[in-house]
Amino acid sequence: LESVVSEETDPSVCGVTVSSASPTSKPSPQPTPQPTKQPVTLEPTNSPTVTPKYIEISCGNQCHLIQWPYKMGGSYEPSVAYGKCEADCDNGDCKAFSLQDDTRFNFSGNKRCFLYKASKEPSPEICANDPFSHPFCRYATSGGSFFITPAAKAQYN
């Protein structure tokens, strides 16, 4: 432990050697020693890549796909709305879900869950490809968000 620096002002910690020959002489810089460890190369692992169950799609204030067959879900407190709506979708005929501000009088402050059916295709067909880009396929929402399975996202863009 004799090599431990015991004082914060010890200039040797910076690779500088101080000569005691003259109090006015300037310290002469010394080269920094080379590291003793070599860089570590990480090998790829066989760990599975985590795929999310649902991917959020940016939809602004137009988050309801009106031409996709859907079922009205529950109305939930905002702090639990995502988890409850996700569970509703997991346990039903569902490829996507959206959450929107519930504007009904007795549910003010809650989020309403819309569950989009996996067993039915959007109609008209134009709403099956990149539906948020077609004004006819989407509907205005307040505080909306939209979540879709990776497989359905690949199918419908």
In the beta sheet, which residues pair with residue 99?
Answer: 113, 145
Q: pLDDT tens across 109-128, in order?
A: 999 999 999 999 999 999 99
Query: Regarding predicted confidence, which is higher, 21 or 41?
Result: 41
For residues 3 and 32, what is the distance between their CA atoms, to the nearest angstrom?
16
Q: Which string of b and e fits 48-74 if b means at least 16 CB within 10 Å?
A: eeeeeebeebebeebbbbebbebeebe
Q: pLDDT tens across 90-102, in order?
A: 999 999 999 999 9
